[in-house]
Structure 1
Amino acid sequence: MEYLKKWIRNNGATAILVVLFIVLLINTDARAWLMRQIASTGILNSSISEPKEKEGGPSSARYADLIVRNEEGAVLSTSALKGKVVFINFWASWCPPCRAEFPSIQEFYNRYSNHPQMVFLTVNLDENPVLGKNYIKEKGFTIPFLTSAGNIPREYFNGSLPTTVVLDKKGEIRLHHSGLADYSKDSFYFQIDALLKQKP
């Protein structure tokens, strides 16, 4: 017993770090919390870019069509959303970075969901959609629960979770970000406001 006390005195910090590491390894929400703290710094965020045509030539992504289905079974496609700014987020309930950024997406949704020219397509990619529905319900999120209703264009999603895409009113991809980000920053809202003010 004396040996154990001595070891803890000499190696207390190491023991605490090992315990924290084990908790992070086992608990998805703990990993999501840590990632959320990192994302809140903004260092992982991406910015809205200029349209591709300004860089030379039209964008092949402009006419890529994503088709999704809501919980009631209604189908919606991005091609029908011209004239609106579209925020697309691909996520899964088992994905710690997705869980980490979801509170910021909920905050963004709360702020803009009533704007007539803003659309949110939060596309769940769980193999079993019930897991995604349960996660949203458990956390009290009100973000739309959508699933893919066809092939997802590679211009939008290449397999990394989470992936976020923002389309302008012409259907042009203005942001494509793979990985964790914080979408509750004023700097991001400023960019979204600029897109909303543009003419289709």
Structure 2
Amino acid sequence: MNKNKFSIKNIPGWTVMLAVFGILYLTGLHTEAIGQVQRLLLATGVKNADVPETLQNPDANAVADASAAAGSEMAGAGFKMVDLKGNTVSFESLKGKVVFMNIWATWCPPCVAEMPNIQRLYEKVGSEKIAFVMLSVDEGGMEKVKKFIDKKGFTFPVYMPASQFPQEFYSNAIPTTFIISPEGKIVAKQEGMADYDTKEVQDFLKNMVKK
């Protein structure tokens, strides 16, 4: 009798995990798997989006400061984007609206993890006065992004860069989210994934809407 007979019980746990991850990677499912785990972490409330307290309830001075800035140049001035229908959109055309801009990619697990809560936020507050810009930085072309969005059933507006990326939108992390006031000023920046479908974020966006 061979005492060295192979048994699956003798396979080290790390080898099994490596094999599983390898299969997920080869099949392109690793991003989804990691994203699902991170989505569960978001559901625990472990990382809610940071909202500047001074802008949750703007006072008279804040409104005056915003009005004074209305004539200045908008963040991202000159930047061009293209939507998933191939239409070119000027970022400056969004001036006068509150802009929720999320920089993401299909290959980014944290991006995939937070997108469902951004979709819920969009369904609750998206309007003619609050614009969503889901800006994909994928290099695989528009069809790859369209396929991903269609598969997920997301309805928020998705764009890709059509000109040089503005310096003010550079970040050390992906995803990164910016909130821009109707006057064109960056008023909040969140690096890394977060839960945006919260009352604090909803109120934050609604309070900035131009009266």
TM-score by length of 2: 0.74
* Residue 178 (str. 1) matches residue 191 (str. 2): yes
1:161 to 163, 174, 189: 174
Where does residue 187 of structure 1 map in the other structure? 200
Unaligned runs of 5+ residues in structure 1 are none
AA at the equivalent of 1:116? E
Alignment-derived partner of residue 137 in structure 2: 125
Structure 1 position 102 matched with structure 2 position 115: yes
Per the alignment, residue 82 of structure 1 pairs with 95
Map residues 1-200 of structure 1 onto 2, 5 A cutoff.
Answer: 15=13, 19=16, 23=20, 26=24, 27-49=30-52, 50=54, 62-65=74-77, 66-113=79-126, 115-128=127-140, 129-158=142-171, 160-196=173-209, 198-199=210-211
CA contact (8 A) 1:61 1:173 kept: no
TM norm structure 1: 0.77
Asked if the contact 1:24–1:31 (Cα under 8 Å) also holds between the matched residues in 2, the reply is no
SS at structure 1 position matched to 2:167? coil
Percent identity (aligned)? 30
Q: Secondary structure at the match of 1:127?
A: coil
Q: Which protein has the larger Cα radius of gyration, Structure 1 or Structure 2?
A: 2
Q: How many residues align?
A: 188
Letter in 2 for 1:174: V
Give structure 2 stretches of 5+ with no counterpart: 25-29, 56-60, 63-68
CA distance in 1 between counterparts of 2:36 and 2:129 reads 32
Deviations 1:38-92 (A, max 9, x none): 12233333323358x97xxx8x995432321112332223322222100111111
Preserved contact between residue 157 and residue 163 of structure 1 (Cα < 8 Å): no
Q: Is the 8 A contact 2:125 2:206 kept in 1?
A: no
